[in-house]
Structure 1
C-alpha cells in the first residue's frame, strides 16, 4: 500500500536556523485515504540530507484529537536546528501503534529547506559574484602581473641631412555665393498601428524582459549532469527495464542517454526544494525514439507526442500554484516497445515562462572560489583588489 506524506495547504516549506515557532502541518495518507493518527503510541520525525540520516525528534501527540484526521503539527526544537547548515533536507515520519510501525512516505522523503537568519555566522551561506564582475576583475588582475625584464637600449643612429624648403604658391581668389533655395513643404504626420507596435523589435525586447523578470533561477542541482547521476534516480514503469547513463552527445554537451523497453522509462530528481504555492515551469532539451509523457513537477500525465530523432527540442510544462508534489520527473513511453532518448539541460524555475538553461545558484562561482583565485594571482606577482 502506498503511503504519502504531504504539506497541508498553506503550510510553510522552510524554516530559519533557530526558529522554533514555525509550524509545519503535515498530512499522512495511505492509498490516498487520511490516516487516523489518534491511535498512535508515538510519532517520530526523522531528518536527513543527501549524505544520509542526521537526527530525529518526537512529535507531541496530545493535541491530535483537535486536528483534521491525518494531520499533525511539527515544530523544530532549537537544539535540532542549532547545528544545521542552511540547505535542503529530507523528512520521514515513523508512526508506531499496536500493529507495528508505519513509515511515511513509502517513496522519496518529503523535502524542506533550512535558511539562514541575519545573525547566523556559520559561513554556510556563501555570497555569489556576477560573471561580468569576475571577468572585469580578472582582466584587471592580469594587467598587474609582473612582466619580463626590459632589454638594453640600443645605440642612437646618425642624424640625417636637412632637406631644402619648397617655395610657397600664390593663394586663389574666393568664388561668389549662390542664391538660397525655397523652403520645402512640411511632411504628413506618421501613424503606427497596434500590430506594428507589438511586432517592433523594441517592444519585443521589452516583452522578453518582462517575461523573464520574475524567473530564470534553476531550482534543480546537477541539471547539466556533470556529476554522473548525482541527485537523480532512474525510474521504470511496469514491465520496463529502463537504464540511464551519462555520455557526451554530438554537440559536445554532457547528457543522459535513456534506453529501455516496455511501458515507461524516466528520471526523477531526488532533491528538489521550491515554493509549492508558486507557479513553476519545468523544461528539458530532448531527442530520440520515444513519446515524451511528462516533464515537470508531480505525477500528472501530459503527452507531448513523439519527439525528433535528429535534433533537440525544448519542451516543458507548467505546474499551477498549490501543488502538493515535490517531485521533478521526466518520463517517456515507448514507441514500438523501444525508448532510446537523449536529454540535457533540465530546468525547474519559478513562473510560467521557460527560459534558457542556467545552473543552480549554489553551482555558480562563490566568494570562497574567488578568494582562492585571488591567492593564486598574488602568488604569481599580481594583485586583485
Structure 2
C-alpha cells in the first residue's frame, strides 16, 4: 500500500494506477522518479525515446517503465505499457511535491473584497487580491501576489501560481494552471489614428477559457475588443506567448514558446504551433494543422497538414549569396514568362 507520509509506492501500486504489467518483483518499493542515467535504487525511471536506449543496460533504477518490446533488454524489474511517455506523465504528477503540500487556507495578508465568493477548500496565498464579484470554485489555489479582477470566475481545482493577473470579467474553466507572470484579460492593442496621434479604443470584451487549460509564465491573452477572446478545452500555451484580442483557439491545440497571434485569427482544434510562429490577423487555421518553428503565416490554411516558411540556418557566406538571388527572383520570373511566351509555353 501507499505510504502517505514518505510517498513510497510498490510497483504493484503503480502498475494498477497506470494499467501496466510488472515483469519482475511487484513488491519493490519506490519513492521517486528520475532519468535512466540518474535514477537510484529507490527510484523508478522510464524509456520513451529510443535515443536513450543506450542508457538502459547500465541503469541503477529500481524499475523502468517501457514498451513491451524492450522488456527483454531491461536489467531490472520493468513495467510495460504501450505508451510509456503517457505513463511517465502520470508518474510525474504522482511524485510532484507541489501536489503533495497540505492545504494552507486563506493567508491573513490576502485581501478579499466584499461580494467575492470562495468555494470549499480554496487556498489564497500571501498578498493575493480577490476583487468584488469574483467566484472561485472548490479547491482552487490562488498563489502569492496574484490578483483576480472584479466579476471574474475561476473554476474548481484550478491553480494560479505566484503573481498571476486575471483582469476583470474573465472566465477560467476547471483544472486550469496559470504560471507566474501571465496576464489574462489585459487590454488588446486597439487604437485609432487621426493623422497625427493615436486614440485608445476601449476593450469591452473579455476572455473565456475552457477546462484543463495551461498557460506558461509571462504569457498574455488579451481581452476582446467587443466579443470575447476564446480559448478552448485542453489548450496548452507555453511561456512568453502573445494572443491578441478576439483570437479563438480550438480544443486540444498546443502553442510553443514565443508564438504570436494577431487579432481575430481563429485556430482550429488539435493544432500545434512551434516556437516563434507568427500568425497574421483575421486568418482562419483549420483543424489538425501543424506549423513548424519560426514560420510566419499570412494567409488562411484550409487543409490539415504540416506547414513551414522561412529558410533553415546556413553559413553566413552561403546566406549572403542566397540573399542576392532572392532579390533577383522577380526579374528571373519575368524573363522566364517571356521565354515561355516566345516558345509557345513549351
Name the TM tier (shorter chain): under 0.3
* Structure of greater Rg: 1
How high is the TM-score relative to the length of structure 1? 0.23
Higher strand share: 1
